Structure 1
């Protein structure tokens, strides 16, 4: 194919100047705000945040105090952090690499712009279905705990994660054949390369199935799981509050009965009986103190396990809520607008520019969803904050030693005083 290469740039500039309308100007401004500035900044933050997520979640996973279901949830969160990290990396490269209509040689930028869209889409749908799998496991663990003991395990979670990665990769293979690199030979013998869509490539059916399988079904499932989890957590807190109030009232009645018994014994007994009563009360107090210590240790362990359960559940609920706020509305808007308006990519009418504006905003929202999980984990997960603090606070390892030495010195001082 022969082309007058020296006039291509001038032709593109003249066409762009003639087609500068209010819609095109608005589209350029919003593209600069959201795509050229917002997406690179959010993606860079997401790279750092997801890297920290990998460090903290991996360190928490090897903690033996976690139960089997909590470790399964951590495996899913680690897989999600890997997928989000790769999405942020590819999105950052997609926005900072120089994009041109034509290239004078086959370089890495050209190949990335050709194939990068497929890889970005893979990590988007992969993260979406990983969230669905984790939400389903947490739904079973909280709402159906007996069934979850049979269905949820470390091995099954690893298999589910591998299946999600494999199915999402197979589903994105058609995207890599949607466009191709076209070579053009100029009059002077030089060659130019550009990326064009394949002729006769009809992807209407694929886009319809794509929207159903990777947009609407995951969002409906996540909405159902999240509503059930929030309702179950609310009922559990309400039951715990009622039990706490009942225990406090029983304790008040118990103390009042003891006080009444002591008053009766004082008025009706002699000095010897008072001595016997005091010794008996001391023995009872000693026994109750020992029982309280044992029950306190058991309740402390139970509170620790409950805290881990609540932290993981709250984390997943927050991740799902963020996804439903940032991703689901954007997908619905894109789907409805594309179906209700005629979008012409060749003549670029006003609907084309409005569609591009919607894409810029929704792409920024998706990037934000995959980049701010670090802030989300710090806000709702107390265990995550503690582990993050231990990773970066190097002076903390010296504190227990100092405390032990101080306790030993105090113990020796008391021994000398007794002698």
Structure 2
């Protein structure tokens, strides 16, 4: 995610220092690449939901994976609404519709989208950690697994993560507010629209939103209602701006989860290699094969997670110059959406049970479609065979002449 927040504003800053934005680069990554990735991701996640919520897909690991697919779907939608939409509108600031979206609709959208996406990210990260711990216990400590891995404990853990995610991100709801732009009557250009420079300071990462068109039609004195996000007293405090938005976010979302995932992933891989050597001399049971396959799926999910999240961690540091930071944020946000979009490929490529259930669903759907077509054809045939023949008195004149 961008720096300390889901920075969806026109101008973004790092620790209060604005960086140089490249609207065309943002449009390429957030306006083109991200929506394409997100669209495929939404289709894949819909198929994930259909399969993972089937009755035969029941295990503690699957309960975690269900939570992941729901949070992944929400993250993709939030990124498209927050990043893609604003990157597209920024390329055409003189377009009345896009200008209205940027400076009237979007300020109202920013805070709820920011809160929801950040809460979903928190949940997604720590559910990934939880399912990795669950797999570690199942593979490395199988005798303790039955006590720890049960439906009740899994639901309690998922519920606690969701509650903590909401509580942790509540301050974001009170760090910004929507207000009218200042100096709206200051005309800078003519025949394009009366413009003003609007001071704002969202989250506290926004410095100035420029080129705001205030008139509804060119060369018209009618003013457009212009809104901007401003930082509240809470958002301007050092505790929020530095310790909560930067340091706590860096530790809670990146450093601690990534360290745990890397360590557990290494231990899982080592144990799976040992199990493979032992099984070469014996015949593994179907349950052992299933547990191993599920662990391999999870390892791949975690590897992709680490690769996609690490650039976001680098973006938290301020040693990057302005141009590099802009490029880095474009890439890290796109990878953030990619991480929520690729699990379907992992499931279908490696997950044997997932693939089996998915193919079964497709076969049943195709079979029902064929049966429906066969029933419709049989009904039409029965209707034709039951149609009454012409009575002698109802025969057409031409037929009577031929019979005569």
The reply to whether TM is greater than 0.5 is yes
Match of 1:269 in 2: none
Change (3 A) 1:183 1:365: same
Q: CA deviation at 1:104?
A: 8.8
Q: CA deviation at 1:109?
A: 3.7
SS at match of 2:264: helix
Match of 1:227 in 2: 266
Match of 2:180 in 1: 183
Q: Which moved more, 1:102-111 or 1:215-224?
A: 102-111
Establish whether residue 310 from structure 1 lines up as the match of residue 307 from structure 2: no
TM-score (norm 2): 0.68
**Are the aligned partners of 1:126 and 1:164 in contact in 2 as well (CA < 8 Å)?**
yes
**Are the aligned partners of 2:37 and 2:338 in contact in 1 as well (CA < 8 Å)?**
yes
Establish whether residue 330 from structure 1 lines up as the match of residue 311 from structure 2: yes
Q: Distance in 2 between matches of 1:117 and 1:105?
A: 16
Q: Distance in 2 between matches of 1:107 and 1:395?
A: 46
User: Of Structure 1 and Structure 2, which has the larger fraction of its residues in helix?
Assistant: 1
SS at match of 1:371: coil
SS at match of 2:341: coil
Q: Distance in 2 between matches of 1:393 and 1:149?
A: 35
Match of 1:142 in 2: 139
Q: CA deviation at 1:24?
A: 5.7
Q: Distance in 2 between matches of 1:153 and 1:375?
A: 28
Q: Distance in 1 between matches of 2:115 and 2:164?
A: 14
Total equivalences in the alignment: 301
**Are the aligned partners of 1:44 and 1:92 in contact in 2 as well (CA < 8 Å)?**
no
Match of 1:164 in 2: 161
**Are the aligned partners of 1:132 and 1:221 in contact in 2 as well (CA < 8 Å)?**
yes
Establish whether residue 38 from structure 1 lines up as the match of residue 20 from structure 2: no
Q: 2:80 aligns with which of 70, 83, 92?
A: 92
Where does structure 2 lack aligned partners over 5 or more consecutive residues? 1-9, 11-18, 94-98, 186-220, 369-404
Change (3 A) 1:105 1:242: closer
**Are the aligned partners of 1:76 and 1:161 in contact in 2 as well (CA < 8 Å)?**
yes
Q: 1:53 aligns with which of 42, 48, 51?
A: 48
TM-score (norm 1): 0.66
**Are the aligned partners of 2:104 and 2:226 in contact in 1 as well (CA < 8 Å)?**
no
Q: In angstroms, what is the RMSD of aligned CA positions? A: 2.8
Q: Distance in 1 between matches of 2:112 and 2:366?
A: 47
Q: Distance in 1 between matches of 2:243 and 2:181?
A: 32
Q: Which moved more, 1:79-88 or 1:172-181?
A: 172-181
Q: Distance in 1 between matches of 2:125 and 2:360?
A: 31
Q: Distance in 2 between matches of 1:379 and 1:143?
A: 25
Q: CA deviation at 1:394?
A: 3.2
Which has the higher Rg, Structure 1 or Structure 2? Answer: 1
Q: 1:193 aligns with which of 212, 220, 227?
A: 227
Match of 1:268 in 2: none
Q: CA deviation at 1:219?
A: 0.5
Q: CA deviation at 1:378?
A: 0.8
SS at match of 1:393: helix
Match of 2:324 in 1: 354
**Are the aligned partners of 2:139 and 2:271 in contact in 1 as well (CA < 8 Å)?**
yes
Establish whether residue 82 from structure 1 lines up as the match of residue 70 from structure 2: yes
SS at match of 1:175: helix
Q: Distance in 1 between matches of 2:275 and 2:293?
A: 14
**Are the aligned partners of 2:312 and 2:333 in contact in 1 as well (CA < 8 Å)?**
no
SS at match of 1:195: strand
SS at match of 1:335: coil
Where does structure 1 lack aligned partners over 5 or more consecutive residues? 1-11, 13-22, 245-298, 342-350, 399-419
Q: Distance in 1 between matches of 2:323 and 2:232?
A: 23
Q: Distance in 2 between matches of 1:311 and 1:32?
A: 40
Match of 1:402 in 2: none
Q: CA deviation at 1:96?
A: 4.3
Change (3 A) 1:357 1:179: farther
Q: Distance in 1 between matches of 2:27 and 2:102?
A: 27
Residue-by-residue CA offset, 1:127-166 (whole Å, 9 max, x unaligned): 1100000000110111011112212211100110111111
SS at match of 2:178: strand
User: Which runs of structure 2 are paired with 1:123-134 in the superposition (5 Å)?
Assistant: 123-134=120-131
Match of 1:370 in 2: 340
Change (3 A) 1:110 1:232: same
